[in-house]
Structure formats: structure tokens, C-alpha cells
Amino acid sequence: MKACMFPGQGAQRIGMGEGLFSRFQEEVSQADDILGYSITALVQDGPMEKLSQTEYTQPALYVVNSLKYLSYLAEGETPPDILLGHSVSEYVALFASGVLDFAAGLRLVAKRGALMAEARGGGMAAVLGLEAAAIEELLKEKAIADIFPANFNTPKQTVLSGRRETIVEAEQMFLEAGASHYKVLPVSGAFHTPFMNEARDRFAEFAADVPFGTQQVPVISNVTARPHVDGRIRERMIEQITSPVRWSESLRYLMARGVAFSDTVELGPDGPPVVRPMFKRTELEADPLDAAEHAAEEAVTEGDEPATTDAPAASPERPARMNGAASNFGRFSMEKLGSRPFCDRFGARYPYVSGAMYQGIASADLVIRMARSGLLGFFGAAGLPTAEIRAAIARIKAAIPQEAPFGVNFIAHVNRPYLEDELTDVLLDEGVTVAEASAFMEVTPALVRYRAKGLKRESGAVRASNRIIAKISRPDVAAQFLAPAPERVVASLLASGAITGEEAALLREVPMADAICVESDSGGHTDQGMPFALIPPVLGLRDEAEARFASFGPIFVGAGGGIGTAEAAAAVLVLGADFIVTGSINQCTVEAGTSDAVKDLLEGINVYDTAYAPSGEMFELGSKVQVLKKGVFFPARAEKLVGLYRQHDSLDGIDAKLKAQIEERYFRRSFDEVFADVAKSYPASEIERAGRMPKHRMALVFKRYFKDTTNWALAGDMNYKVDFQIHCGPAQGAFNQSALGREFPSWRQRHADEIGLALLEQTADLLNRRLSVMMG
């Protein structure tokens, strides 16, 4: 089996391609017309300073490598069985495969090079002698947020990319960690990292009109280290600008296919080979990919993917939106789970989200950890004062790369709408562009104002800078977020001057949310829904909304609640979820903003160790929350208080003996002392009302128990351990009992990003095994 490989940036040299330009004059003439200068003069005469500039290097390498391939075939050599190109030269491989014609490939490369050349302040460095896992662990350990692995060239040769100052300063750190060599490269951009998101987005617009054909020879993708899938090639090449080049894994894939060093051919500039020695080094330093993984890869049939040159149009049947998965069985990887367009919309590496947990349990540290791994996390702003929310946002923004994903929870306040307005002001002031809308029964003015700000018209379509993921547990609420903002709300905001006339007009052309998260039985507030019943109708509503807002782009449906294992994640993805949201399992991690005592309790629970208890926020309405019951009395005591509230009209009506027991065991002080404390924090109108209405006084006193039990748990006050109120769903117990839990036996070993990535990896593996069995 023969493989042809094409070297990328760094292989350029003056005089490369000598003899090729005169043989392939038609292609050279096309190149001159497209580039607007003589490619022959640039390559043959230089100067080297110009040839080494990204906007010139990339098209020059594309032309020389492509002509080299044409020469290779013209000389009667055996055509390759597989193709791969390093970084920019992946376009050469696509040309060789017939996916792109020569001119189309050059136009794409010229645009790519020009956009990447605009990047400033970035840098790259080659690190030798350390394995990729050790490098990534060191970056995490040192909390370095602005350096990323960009090229995994061999098992012990990695190129880092990021902010130039940090790249230069990191040399000593890597040498002390055992690197044998550290060389800063002469580039000005942080290529193949999130720092290139703007270039990627602009390139995507350019590439939208370029036709991509089907592969005549398989091409290995830099992004996935697996063969490209026809119909998704454009998407992968756009993603390639910000994704690391997985060259070493690509070579190990070839090794698993039976390709040896002697079967490889490097086609590029004359001189010392560049990528072929990487194959030899990889053979020495690593084994082929796992045999089981390779066998599953070989099971892929040619009919697995659409053969169309563009992405398939939406249809009522909605073929599976999981990347690379169609109606027949194909190999799943982490990159193929969920929706890649979702990742692009929210700037995430994978379609995995850590949901917000109130009062900062979803802490700034947790969000930072997620963002540094390219994962979207939401800060738990609910229940926190405005100043604390502002401080947390500032801390998150200072600790992560500028384009790294993060968001803030936007919780509904039915009785205190001014809190929604305050949060909207904070989000707009601080430039937070992603919000998780939760507990909404209807769309409110504050949320509409947040959506309105940042709406703009681009190429005839309306785009939303402020993106919303709405968590819902009922299809009728989902329908509100899949529609434009309510006209009465828009009119009211316009009349008050809160939004402009242009913003009001744009609001009518977009749905209120970019994505819907279907929240099933979960920790905290829950309607105890089942994903198998909830997700299908919401998918139907989404399809109708996409047709209505065709120019807006895809609208996404995700799933949350009960997801703590690969089996649960796989189930909702097969149902059609574009992304998954986890909650409970992130509360039992190092970064979670709760006490060690709570984490110790959660670490040992099983799926049957939770219960439904009354909600303190909606005490009078009988709303329920799901909480931990193992080792605590809170669920039973909360039910007791609600029962007493329903049975009596005042605190004085409670039996004296029972009243004394509750004061002593629940509050550890008298009801009068509790009310005196309550009076300090409630508005005067509420206290005056309590003086007139004994039942309202009773409600305020009993509600204080719910507030105290939360605060005792967050603080880890062991004097009140039996009263801890800990919102948690059975997903935590399932996680503890699963293979994932055995991989992370103690919460002190659990980090939110690491368990997320491990969950995705196990989900992909599970789908491969299950579908392989089903397909015989």
C-alpha cells in the first residue's frame, strides 16, 4: 500500500521546483493570474525573506508540491493508495485526490495564507524529547492558558503555538521538564489555535462558494487523523485553521493499515526530506493504532456518507447530525459526536457543555478549566450579588485566551424582574456573549434586551453576537425560544428607549435562542421529564424553526439531566441531540465552588441516593428540587415544614411540643429569633405584610431553613451536616459506579474538563462497539 505525503510550511527554499515550471506552463500561468505575481520569479529568485512570509510561503508550496505530484504521475510511477499533506499541503493532497482542481485549491490556499499572515503577536516553538501528554499536562499544571499544542509531528516532537511572549518565556520551563530541544520559530501568528478564530470565520465565508468534489484516493484529515468523509471536507478544512495538526496519529493510522516506511513517498521541494523522516521516527517511538480501533475503521463502507459535494440540505427526516455518522455504520471518534456547527457557533472544541449550578457552584475556576480545554462552561450566577458576578466574569476573562468559550447563567426571576435587568446590564457591560437561560416559563424583557444588543445584518442575514442556550423541560416553552421575541415585549422596550428601532426590526428576523437544551430529570429544579419523550417533539419544533429562519443558520438541540455515563450520553446523541450538558457530575470536582464535605458525600453515592424535596425559592407553590438524601435529613425535614405550612395558618397554631422540636433541631433557635434575622434582609413591605398576615410570617421563617441549609453545605459547616441541602441528580451515582468513576475514584482526581473529555471518549468507543455488534 503506497502513501504519498506532502510537506508543509518550513520546507520552502529558494530554487525549489526547478524544471517543473517549464513542464507545466498551463498551471503556472493559472497561478500567476490568481496570485497577481510571477510564482516562478518568487520561487526561483526570492528573496528568502519574502518567500518565508506566510502569505507567499503557502501558495508557493501548494504550487511546487502540486506540480511535483503531476510530475510523479507523468513519469509513470504507481498512483498512491492514500494521500496526506502537512497543514497547508493538505490542500495538495485534496488536489491530488480530485477533490479540488488546481485553480480552486490555489485560491483557497492564497486566501488562507493571507488571512493567517494578518495574525500578529503570536509565536510558535518546536519541543523535542517530551511526549504530547506530558506537554499538555505541564501546560495544565502551570495554568498556562495562552499556549496550545499546534502540531503533533511525532510522539516526541510537538510544535506549540500561542502568545509570542509566553512562547519565548516558556523555554526554560520545558527544558527543566525534560525537553531535549526548544526552538522558537520565525512566525508571527499563533497558527492552529483558538487565536485564529477570526481568520477561520473569514476563511469560511470565502470557502462557501468553492466546489469540493469527492475523493478518488482517500485523504487523511489533519483534524481527525482519519480519512476525510465526502460531504464534510469543506467543514474540516475550515476547522483545520484552528485545530492542531494530528500528524503523528495520522502516521500511526497508516501503520495500522499496513503502510511501512518503505511504502511512503515524499513529494515536495528538492532537498532533505521533511515529513518522511517523521514516519521513521514515529515507527521507532510508537505502535500502530490499537488493533480493535483499526478493525472498526476498516469496517467503514463507501456508502456511509453522502456523496454530494456540499452538506445535505435539511429534510423532515433529519439524518443523524452526529459528525460523520449517517444511516450506515461508520467509525465514531470524539470529533464525530454531536454537531460540529454547534462547536463553531459557540467556539468550542467539542459539543460538550458544563451547565451552571447556582451560587457559584459552577465556579469561575470550573469555567476557566473548561475554557482552557476548549470546552464551553457556564458560571453559576444565580443567587449571587451583582458585584460578585462582575468580579467572577473579570477573573474568567483575565485567565483564558480571548476567543476561548465561556458563558454565564441567566436565571428567570418571576417575582423580582429587576434582578434580570441588573444581570443584563452586567453581561452587556462585561461583553459576555453567551448566556444560559434557565427557569423561564416565558420570554422576558430583560432577556430580549440582551438578545437585541449585538444583532447585525451580514450578507443579507441577521447574525446574533449575544448567543442564548435556553434550558427547557417543556415543548411549549421551547416553542417560545424558537420564535422571535414577543411583539408586545419588543414594542414595550422600543417605547421605553431600551432598544433602537433597528434592533426591534432585527429581533423579528431571528429566534430568541441559538440552541435549546432539553433538561430531563436533573439535580435542583426539575420537572422529572424523560429525554425519550421530551427530545423528539423539541427536534420537530427545531426543524420548523430552521425552515422559518433559513438564513439564520442551524438551530441546535442539546440534552441535559441524568448524563453521567457514556451510555446516557450515547442514548441522547442517538436520539438526535447536537450537544450534551452535564451538571451533577461537575459538582464533585476539584474546581466546583462547594465544600469538601459536600464533595466527600457525593463521591460515595449511588443512583438511588437522591430524593425530591420542596423548593425554598417557590415554597408556597409546592415546586420540587432533586437533592441528596444519603447521610442527611434535609429532604424529610423540608417536607415536614411544607406539611406544617399547609396545615396551619400561623406559627402559633403548631403544637407546642412539635414547635419546640423544630426550633431546637432544625433552626437551633426560636422562631422569633429567626424572624428577627429575616427582617434584616427582606424589604420593609414584606415585613409589614408578615405583620398583617401570620401565614406569610410562617412562610418567611420556614424559607430561612432552606436558605440556611444551602449555606451550611456550601461552607461545609459540619455542625449542620445532617441539614445540608445538596442539589444533585442520579447522574452522580451513575458516574460513581461506571467505568468513568473507576477511572476517577476520588473527587480530588476529578477535574471538570478531564471528566468531560473522558466521557466523550468513552461515548465514542461505546457507540463503535454497540453499533459494530448490531451491524454484525
Q: Could you tell me the three cell numbers for 60?
A: 508557493
**Cell numbers at residue 64, please?**
511546487
Q: Which of 225-239, 575-589, 618-632 has the lowest mean pLDDT?
A: 618-632
Of 571, 480, 492, 512, the C-alpha closest to 759 is 571
Residue 636: name the closest of 703, 704, 695, 723 by CA. 723
- On whether both 590 and 629 belong to a single domain, the answer is no
What's the mean per-residue pLDDT of the chain? 89
Nearest to 323 by CA among 201, 245, 257, 233: 233
Measured torsion, CA atoms of residues 638, 644, 645, 647, in degrees rounded to the nearest 10: 150
Q: Are residues 286 and 203 in the same domain?
A: yes
In a domain, 419, yes or no: yes
Is the predicted pLDDT of residue 675 greater than 70, yes or no?
A: yes
Identify whether residues 468 and 487 lie together within a single domain: yes
Examine the domain organization and report whether 585 and 628 are in the same domain: no
Residue 631: burial class (beta carbons within 10 Å; 0-12, 13-18, 19+): middle
User: Do 655 and 711 sit in the same domain of this protein?
Assistant: yes
Residue 309: predicted pLDDT: 32
Residue 163 parent element (H or E): strand 157-163
Residue 179 sits in the same domain as residue 199 = no
What is the value of pTM for the model shown?
0.61
Q: Band the pLDDT of 640: cuts 50, 70, 90.
A: very high
Are 626 and 611 in contact by the 8 Å Cβ rule? The answer is: yes
User: Domain for residue 761, yes or no?
Assistant: no
Flag whether 242 is in a domain: yes
For residues 622-628, give the mean pLDDT.
85
Residues 564 and 608 in one domain: no
Average pLDDT over residues 524-546: 88
463-479: average pLDDT: 95
Count of domains forming the chain = 4
Interior CA angle at 581 toward 576 and 584, to 5°?
135
How sure is the predictor about 323, in pLDDT bands with cuts at 50, 70 and 90?
A: very low
Does the residue 746 lie in any domain? no
CB atoms within 10 A of CB 496: 10
Q: Are 127 and 179 in contact (CB under 8 A)?
A: yes
- Same structural domain, 287 and 379: no
Task: Report d(CA 668, CA 705) in Å as an integer.
Answer: 10
Domain annotation covers residue 711? yes
User: Which grid coordinates are listed for 631?
Assistant: 447521610
Please give the span between the terminal C-alpha atoms of the chain, in angstroms, as a whole number. Answer: 27
pLDDT at 682: 84
Q: Does residue 674 have a pLDDT over 60?
A: yes
Domain end (from 148, 171, 190): 190
Per-residue confidence band for 301, with pLDDT thresholds at 50, 70 and 90: very low
Which stretch of 190-194, 298-302, 346-350, 389-393 has the lowest confidence by average pLDDT? 298-302
Q: Of the candidates 304, 319, 349, which is a domain's last residue?
A: 304
Mean pLDDT, rounded, for 261-289: 88
- Range with the largest mean pLDDT of 85-99, 413-427, 528-542: 85-99
In a domain, 771, yes or no: no
Tally DSSP H helices, then E strands, for the chain: 35, 20
Pairing of strands 407-411, 376-379: parallel
Q: Where residue 620 falls among pLDDT bands split at 50, 70, 90?
A: low
Residues 478/544, Cβ–Cβ less than 8 Å: no
Tell me how far apart the 2 most distant CA atoms of the chain are, in Å: 105
Asked if residue 745 is part of any domain, the answer here is: no
Alpha carbon 89 to its chain's center: 28
Position 765 in a domain: no
pLDDT digits (tens, 9 = 90+) for 177-217: 988 889 888 777 899 999 999 999 999 999 998 999 999 99
Residue 524 has pLDDT above 70, yes or no: no
What is the average pLDDT across 336-343? Answer: 91
Q: Quick check: 575 and 542 in contact, CB under 8 A?
A: no
Residues noted as catalytic: 87, 192
Buried-exposed string 8-18: b where 16+ CB fall within 10 A, e elsewhere: bbbbbbeebbe
Distance CA 113, CA 44 (A): 20
Q: Which of 640, 411, 625, 384 is nearest to 527 (CA)?
A: 625
Residues 490 and 559 in one domain: yes
Lowest-pLDDT range, 292-296, 390-394, 549-553, 767-771? Answer: 292-296
pLDDT in tens, 116-169: 989 888 899 999 989 999 999 999 999 998 999 999 999 999 999 999 999 999
* pLDDT of amino acid 776: 64
In the predicted model, is pLDDT for residue 1 greater than 90?
no
The number of C-alpha atoms within 13 Å of 741 and in the hemisphere containing its C-beta is: 19
* Order of strands, sheet of 610-614, starting from the edge strand that comes earlier in the sequence: 524-525, 624-628, 610-614
Look at residue 579 in the predicted model and tell me its pLDDT: 97
The DSSP element (H or E) to which 354 belongs, if any, is strand 352-354
At 280, the pLDDT band (50, 70, 90 cuts) reads: confident
Q: Are 194 and 401 in contact (CB under 8 A)?
A: yes
Residue 298 has pLDDT above 60, yes or no: no
Residue 621 has pLDDT above 80, yes or no: no
The whole-angstrom separation of Cα 493 and Cα 445 is 7
Q: Which residue, 596, 618, 635, sits at the end of a domain?
A: 596
Domain that holds residue 583: 340-596
Residue 769, pLDDT score: 83
Q: Residue 512's pLDDT is what?
A: 97
pLDDT at position 331 is: 60
- Integer Cα distance of 485 and 462 in angstroms: 14
pLDDT interval class at 559 (50, 70, 90): very high
Neighbours of 677 (CB within 10 A): 14
Same domain, 179 and 203: no
